[in-house]
Structure 1
Amino acid sequence: MNRKRHVWITVSAALVSGLLVYGVYVLQLRQVKFQETVEVVVPVRFVAAGERLQADLLGMKQIAKASYVPEMSLHPEELGGMEVVVPLGANEPVLSWKVDKFRLLPGRDQSTFQIPRDYVLSVSNGIRAGDRVVVYLSGGGAESVRLFPDSVTVASVKTSGNVEIDDMDHSNLKSLANSNKEGMYAARRDANGMIDSVNLNLTESQWLRLDSLCKDGKSKVVIAYSSDSLDIAKAGESEP
C-alpha cells in the first residue's frame, strides 16, 4: 500500500514539475516574441484614397522588429481624422507619407468649387486655406438652416487680385501643418486683404444642392469659420 502511495506521489510530482517547466517555457517564449516584435497600426479593411481614418478602421498588428521603420505608426489615436493619400490594404502598416492631416486637394468623390459671389451672403473674414467651415442657407422666405451636416474644407481664399490671403511672414498653412494654434491665430490677425472668392472642396451632391437653392437669387449661403480647425490643431499639440 505504501509502495503504491509512493509511486503515485512520484508520478504526481513529475507531472507538476513537467507543468511548471512547460509554463516557464511558454512565458519565456512569449517574452522572446515580445522582445523581437512590435505592434504597429494597420487598417482592418481596404481603405481607398480620400477616406478619413476613424477608430473603427484601425487595428494593431505584430511585426518583426527588423521590419519596423520610423514611418510606421504605433498609436491609433495619432491617425484619427487623417485622410488617406494613397490606397491602404487591409493589415498593411500605415506609413506617415500615406496619410495627411490637412489636404487642400479635394478628397475622394469631391471637386473644388469656387462659390459664385452672387450665392454668398457673408463670409467669415478670418477663414484661410485649409480651414474647416460650416455652410448655412439664408433667405428665400424659409427658415435659415445648416446646409451640410458636416463641415467642409476651404481649398483657397483669394482677394479680387487673385492673391491668396495669408500672412507671408507667418503663414497660416505652416502653422496649421505644425498644429500651432497660436501661430494660426497670429496669421489671421496679421493677414491683410478682403475676401473676394472662396473655393470649397465639395461632393457633387453638395454642390448640386447648393447651386439649386441659390441660383434663383432668393437664397444665399453664409460661410462661417468652424472650430474643427482649432480642435484638430489642439489635438496635434497634445500628441506625445
Structure 2
Amino acid sequence: MNRKRNVLISVTAALLSGLLVYGIYVLQLRQVKFQETVDVVVPVRFVAAGERLKPDLLGVRQIAKASYSEEMLLAKDGLNGMEVVVPLGANEPLLRWKVDKFRLLPDKSQSTFGIPRDYVLSVSNGIRAGDKVMVYASGESAASERLFEDAVTVASVKTAGNMEIDDVKNSSLMSTASGDKEAMYASRRDAIGMIDYINLNLTEEQWLRLDSLCKSGKSKVVIAYSPESLDVGVAAAGDSP
C-alpha cells in the first residue's frame, strides 16, 4: 500500500515538475517574443486631419514585434503627399487606412455642396477635382476677406452643359470603372475646359456661412487655386516610374 502511494506521489511530483518546466519555457518564449522589435513609420508630431504628409513629418519607431499588425506601415516610400484621414498623434504607428491619396469624397464632417453660379465672382480656371482651393469673400458693402481659414477640397468641376471636365484621351469615368485610381486621377489633372460649376467638400458650418453671405447678392466668393495642390502633384509625379 505504501509502495503504491509512493509511486503515485512520485508520478504526481514528476508531472508537476514537467508542468513547471513547461510554464517557465512558455514564459521565456513570450519574453523573447516581446523583446524582438520591428521598425514602423510614425509622425514626429501631431498631424491634423486633412494635412498632407511630407518627409520631415515622418520618423521611425521601434515597437515590440508582438504589438505589430499588418496595417502598420514599415517604410516611408510613397507617403509624400498623402492626405491624413483622421488626426495622428505624435509617435503613434501609422496605419494604412489613416492616409489616402485620392480624397475626392467628403470626410465624415463634410458634405459635397454645389456652389451656385450667382454666388461666384471668379474661379481659377486651372482648378481640377482633388485640388485644394482657398475661398475669399468679396462685396461692395463689406471688406474682402478669406472666408475659411484652411483650404478646402474640390470634389468636381463641370462645364455649362453640366458635364464634368475630363481628359478626352483618358476618360476619368472609364478609369473609375476599371478600378484604375492612378489613371482616374491623371485624367482629372489633364482635363481642359471652361469651369461653370464647382462642387466643394464643406462642413455644414462652412456652407451656412457661405450661403448666408452670398444669398442676398451683395457679396460673392472668389475661388483660388492653393499651393497645397502643387505638393500633391509633385508627389504623384515622383511615384511614377
Task: Compute the TM-score of the two structures, normalised by the length of structure 1.
Answer: 0.63
In the TM superposition, residue 104 of structure 1 has moved relative to its aligned partner by 0.9
Q: Call closer, same or farther: CA 1:41–1:186 in 2, change over 3 Å.
A: closer
Which residue of structure 2 lines up, in the alignment, with residue 215 of structure 1?
215
Q: How many residues align?
A: 199
Check whether the contact 1:51–1:107 (CA below 8 A) recurs between aligned residues. no
Q: 1:123 is aligned with what amino acid?
A: V
Deviation at 1:140, TM superposition (A): 3.2
- Specify the code of the residue in structure 1 equivalent to 2:190: A
Distance 2:205 2:189 in 1: 35
Structure 2 CA distance for aligned equivalents of residues 145 and 89 of structure 1: 32
Kept in 2, the 8 Å contact 1:139–1:220? The answer is yes
> CA separation in 2, counterparts of 1:140 and 1:160?
27
Secondary structure of the residue that 2:223 maps to in structure 1?
A: strand
Residue 62 (1) aligns with residue 63 (2): yes
The answer to whether the 8 A contact 1:157-1:165 is kept is yes
CA distance in 2, matches of 1:88, 1:197: 34
TM norm structure 2: 0.63
Cα separation, partners in 2 of 1:70 and 1:220, compared to 1, 3 Å: closer
The answer as to whether partners of 1:42 and 1:61 remain within 8 angstroms in 2 is no
Residue 203 of structure 2 is aligned to residue 200 of structure 1: no
* Deviation by residue 1:95-140 (Cα, 9 ceiling, x = unmatched): 4344202311111311111111111111111111101111111113
Q: Which residue of 1 aligns with 2:76?
A: 75
Q: Deviations over 1:69-100 (max 9, x none)?
A: 59724339936752227x98998743434420
Tell me: CA distance 1:208–1:76, structure 2 relative to 1, closer, same or farther (3 Å).
Answer: farther
Q: Does 1:187 align with 2:190?
A: yes
The aligned residue for residue 85 of structure 2 is 84
**Within-5 A mapping of 1:49-198:** 52=51, 60-64=61-65, 72-75=73-76, 78=79, 82-84=83-85, 93-170=93-170, 187-188=190-191, 191-192=192-193, 194-198=194-198
| Unmatched 5+ stretches in structure 1 | 1-31
Q: CA deviation at 1:65?
A: 9.5
Answer yes or no: is the 8 Å Cα contact 2:154–2:201 preserved in 1. Answer: yes
- Distance between the aligned counterparts of 2:77 and 2:63, measured in 1? 14
Q: Percent identity?
A: 60
Structure 2 unaligned regions, length at least 5: 1-31, 176-180
Letter paired with 1:226: S
